[in-house]
Chains A and B, each alone.
Chain A
Amino acid sequence: MNNTSLPSQEEKEFESFLGSVQLQQLQTSNPLQKLSKTLLYNILFGGAICLLYCVAIIAVDALIIKAILAVLLLFSVWAVYSGYVIYSRFSPQVSVAHPVLEEMERHYTTMTAWIKKQEITGLFFYPISAAGGFMMGGAAGSGKPIIEFMSNTYVLLLLLVLVAILEPICFYLVRYFNKLLFGVHLADLKRNIDLLKEGE
């Protein structure tokens, strides 16, 4: 730009930055990039869980257990699929084609969709997975077949109490951490979107 005087502190800083930068090694710290990575890990982890359920369905004999595991498998497949749908829409790169308002709205809606997905996962996926683990772990630990282990009334009650406790804990923990990580950023985005839309 039209600077005719001595370079400012900022110009010196920028010149020093340009002198040391390696374009191919640059990394983005865009929040969407971080969410995208987390979502990918979730999908991979969910895929592994699905495979484990498949193996368990084949391995157990009791029809009722097969049915319970099949329900868990269906739920896991749904969770992985819905995660993939959000992941496929992620574009961590800032778009030049979009004006500022559209780009801020894209970031905001993508992030809120991701957070909603995480909250639903917290509400259903983690407690149900824990219940599945409880059944299989309990059976393995007691040395009894799963059906015999689960036929004990106290064990069933314990399982219900466990799920009832885990449901709100998982949901509010997910909500708390999302707010901690992205609450301020989302509030900034929303405020700026509203400011720009004002008078439209």
Chain B
Amino acid sequence: MSEKEFLQHIRDSQGIIIKVVNLYASDSEERRDYYQEILYQAWKSWPQFAGKSKFSTWLYRICLNTVLTSKRKKSRMLPTDAIGETDIAADTHTHAHSATLKEAITQLNDIDKALITLHLDGYEQPEIAAIMGITPNNVRVKLFRIKNQLSKLIKDNLNE
């Protein structure tokens, strides 16, 4: 596959990269570092992509494996607007709800951010389990806890 074709695949699924990077990067400099690292790892791993899974699932693995094993340059506290306007928005009805949800997600730990993002993107529990390397039952338990935590955070944020 040529570079041009590879880049076209990346463009078609760029929302995944932008979403994952925005979950973990604190500014545009760090976002650019992550983009570069993810693209490098995706390009190097591309020959291994046999088409057995969806390209989006493959790219999600690259993004999460890269970001969660990269050395952070900055503090992990993110500004409220650090999460992109992507599929998370589809889960809410208004911009205000979306902003509140985004604010709550930024307060989660690294692992919970990944789990809830995969869930909000429509991945089933067995798929999330396969991507993260834990059992589907553990995914179910964790998602239940994360949702409770998110609703509490949203309530707290609205009361402030």
Contacts and interface: CB of A to CB of B under 8 A. Distances in A.
B60 to A, nearest CB: 10
Given A1-B86, A10-B18, A29 B33 contact: yes
A23 B3 CA distance: 7
B36 interface: yes
B69 A1 contact: no
Interface stretch (A45-53, A136-144, A181-189): A181-189
* Interface residues on chain A, size class: 35 or more
Interface string A76-111: 000000000000000001111111111110010000
A99 B132 contact: yes
A161 interface: no
A153 interface: no
Contact of B35 (A14, A100, A101): A14
Contacts of A180: none
Contacts of B49: 96
Nearest to B86: A1
Interface residues of B, number: 59
A200 interface: yes
B65 A95 contact: yes
Interface in A2-17: 2-3, 5, 8, 10-11, 13-15, 17
B131 to A, nearest CB: 6
A107 B58 contact: no
B7 A18 contact: yes
Interface string A21-38: 101101111110000000
Contacts of B35: 13-14, 17
Query: Lowest 7 CB-CB distances: which A-B pairs, in order?
Result: A1-B15, A99-B133, A101-B133, A26-B40, A195-B111, A94-B41, A185-B71
14 contacts: A2-B15, A2-B87, A11-B84, A14-B35, A96-B62, A96-B65, A100-B64, A100-B133, A102-B133, A103-B133, A195-B111, A195-B112, A196-B133, A199-B142
Interface of B: 3, 6-7, 10-11, 13-19, 21-22, 28, 31-33, 35-37, 39-41, 43-45, 48-49, 58, 61-62, 64-66, 68-72, 84-87, 90, 109-112, 114, 130-135, 138, 141-142
